[in-house]
Amino acid sequence: MGDLIGWVIFIVALLVSVMLHETGHFVVAKRFGMKVTRYFVGFGPTIWSTWRGDTEYGIKALPLGGFVKIVGMHSLDDPDDPADEVRAFRSQPAWQRILVLSAGSATHFLLALLLAFGLALGVGIANDNVSQLGEISPCVPTSLAAYNNGTCGSGAPASPAKLAGLRVGDTVTAFDGHPVGNTFTQLGDAIRAVPPGSPVTITVRRDGKLVTLHTKLASVNGRSGSYLGIGPAVVFQVASPLGAIEYSGTTFGQVLVGSAQAVASLPGGLSKLFAKNRSSTEAGQVTSVVGAAEATSAEVGSNAGWQYKVSFVLLIVISLNIFVGAFNMLPLLPLDGGHIAAIVYERIRAWFARLRGRPDPGLVNMAKLVPVSFSLFLVIVVFSLVLVAADIVNPLQLTGG
């Protein structure tokens, strides 16, 4: 049941994000007096609609997004009524058109900042301390699916952590004779670097005394690296309003930089999407909506506390909105950033024409750019399908120990 709830949460969040994007275009276009004829949720056959003024609002059968229809979006889009030309998008000043096009991404960014602010102020900021254990798995999951879902599976053997006698609250000071780092990721990397079946020592501080424990690492079928069966202690600290603002800005910057790095790693990661060690390669930096939905589903269905679940889901939604907003502003057609680039080119061309005493050349001929726009759209669709396929047959592995 938790898995289904996770999928529903992600799909609803995605749909709301898309419609807020369209709402951004809609509100700013209306504010500038442009004629907006349609505002619809979904695609396909119309199942309900109503008119308010010049605009038809409605719901379509396929809840896969939504759209807004603004009269005269470009040179190929002639108004049905010539009298509407004065209110057409293309007839407005360049700065107004740029603001309308930017409003979609701005809405994504605003939503992400508000969610991050609410997360810090309401749920709290997670602080995971690798030196203290917050979870001891009772078993070795029998499959990768069981591992991702936080379950054991039929006939699962006891985990190495349980056999070693590790306890929640233990402070790990060394693993296999080497001092541990300050993050759970570093400890997890150290565990996975040791071959499965290898005997290891784990030194912990318990009740003020150092205790050395022994066990043999295991492995999970379909998952690379060794498995111990531990999780970090996570403490959620509610921030002050100023701290929440700082957290919002920091999170936004980190996700934005991470998104740029993920996009930059795509060329090198394409060939590794279906590799067994995908998670530790460049391909481990990218995922599709299916991968994000699976991660949300797994977390909602896990045994983690409500704060961790809410935090995880909100951070997924925050990251999604920042990535989509930034990607949409790239100066490439058919993205909004591509249309903005076309408007900037129009104004630069008009400026040079004035310097030469010539008339304004007018709008960019979008007919010449249709092949470019279609080609990029096709590339995006093909890559998205490949990424979805990779997330289905070779899903990313969570970074547990």
Report the number of secondary-structure helices (H) and strands (E) in the chain. Answer: 11, 8
Q: Residue type for 100, please?
A: V
In degrees and rounded to multiples of 5, residue 225 shows phi and psi of 85, 170
Phi-psi region of 124 (alpha: psi -120 to 50; beta: other; left: phi over 0): left
In degrees and rounded to multiples of 5, residue 289 shows phi and psi of -65, -30
Q: Residues 265, 286: contact at Cβ < 8 Å?
A: yes
Token pair for 248? 């919002």
Q: Residues 10, 292: contact at Cβ < 8 Å?
A: yes
Q: Residues 400, 223: contact at Cβ < 8 Å?
A: no
Token pair for 153? 């599976």
Q: Which of 22, 294, 299, 346 is catalytic?
A: 22
Token pair for 393? 């047959």
**Nearest-angstrom CA–CA distance, 148 and 161:** 18
List, as one string, the DSSP characters of 147-186. HHHT---TTPPBPHHHHHT--TT-EEEEETTEE--SSHHH
Clarify whether 22 is annotated catalytic. Answer: yes
Among all residues, which ones are annotated catalytic?
A: 22
